[in-house]
Chain A
Amino acid sequence: GAVVSQHPSWVICKSGTSVKIECRSLDFQATTMFWYRQFPKKSLMLMATSNEGSKATYEQGVEKDKFLINHASLTLSTLTVTSAHPEDSSFYICSAYSGTSGRNGEQFFGPGTRLTVL
């Protein structure tokens, strides 16, 4: 149980285009989903927290107009990187949290999406 999927697993796009990444909790309802960014050989950096049906809360320094987050249902959150540029190339990882998921309500991570902007 407690499986989180992401789609696509990797994407290459041209500079200036927008890319949408989906995050789904497959076997539980996620009241909260988190979006992280990870650079090579670095730690996870929290970008934003999204709660179902409400606006996402962005961490300091994260451009909300560039990284659009939608959490339309208890099993789906999307991250759209708008007008992507090469500096947006990174590994994007989502996680899903439910107060009743897993053994202690822990966060479960998706497999990540590798974004490369040319």
Chain B
Amino acid sequence: QQQVKQSPQSLIVQKGGISIINCAYENTAFDYFPWYQQFPGKGPALLIAIRPDVSEKKEGRFTISFNKSAKQFSLHIMDSQPGDSATYFCAAGFQKLVFGTGTRLLVSP
């Protein structure tokens, strides 16, 4: 009940394209769903987060779509740029978070 499944494991997108990463959780009591971006040798940085009372949240080029009934949420990166190349982690939980396995995104110039 504590797993968060993330896919794909890796993703290559052309510059200007849309990057989509998906996550699925099991515990219906989770009430906080953040996405983190991590560059090599650095700590994760919060990108965007959503609570289950809304179905979508947009901040700049980043959008979270949330489907409570399906227990799934996804990150969309619009107009992907080479600087977006990083590892992305979804997470779910309350105060304590369960992390997904990560997606390595490469945006080709």
Contact B96 A111 (CB under 8 A): no
Please determine whether B34 and A106 come into contact, CB atoms closer than 8 angstroms: yes
Within 8 A of A (CB), among B89-105: 89, 95-97, 99-102, 104
- Asked whether A112 and B43 contact (CB < 8 A) given A43-B102, A97-B95, the answer is yes
Given A34-B96, A104-B49, A110 contacting B41 (CB threshold 8 A): no
A109 touches B34 (CB 8 A): no
> Quick one: given A93-B43, A106-B46, are A43 and B36 in contact (CB under 8 Å)?
no
Contact between A44 and B95, CB atoms less than 8 A apart: no
Asked if A112 contacts B32 (CB within 8 A), the reply is: no
Could you tell me the distance between the alpha carbons of A30 and B54 in the complex, rounded to whole angstroms?
27
Q: What is the bound-complex CA distance between A102 and B102, given in angstroms?
A: 24
Q: What chain A residues lie within 8 Å of B102 (beta carbons)?
A: 41-43
Is B51 at the interface (CB under 8 A from chain A)? Answer: yes
Are the C-beta atoms of B43 and A32 separated by less than 8 Å? no
Interface string of A34-63 (1 = CB under 8 A from B): 100000011110100100000000000000
Asked if B17 CB lies within 8 Å of chain A CBs, one says no
B residues 7-23 touching A (CB-CB < 8 Å): none
Looking at chain A, what size class is its interface with the partner chain?
Answer: 20 to 34
Give A105 to B46 CA distance when docked, in angstroms: 12
* Minimal Cβ-Cβ distance residue in B for A91: B41
Interchain nearest-CB distance for A43 vs B (Å) = 5
User: Could you tell me the distance in whole angstroms from the C-beta of A96 to the nearest C-beta in chain B?
Assistant: 11
Picked from B45, B51, B95, B100, the residue with its CB within 8 Å of the CB of A43 is B100
CB-defined A-B contacts under 8 Å, sample of 18: A32-B95, A34-B97, A42-B102, A43-B101, A43-B102, A44-B89, A93-B43, A104-B32, A104-B49, A106-B32, A106-B34, A106-B49, A108-B46, A109-B36, A109-B46, A111-B43, A112-B42, A112-B43
**New A-B pairs, 4, CB < 8 Å, besides A44-B44, A93-B43:** A34-B96, A41-B102, A104-B32, A104-B51
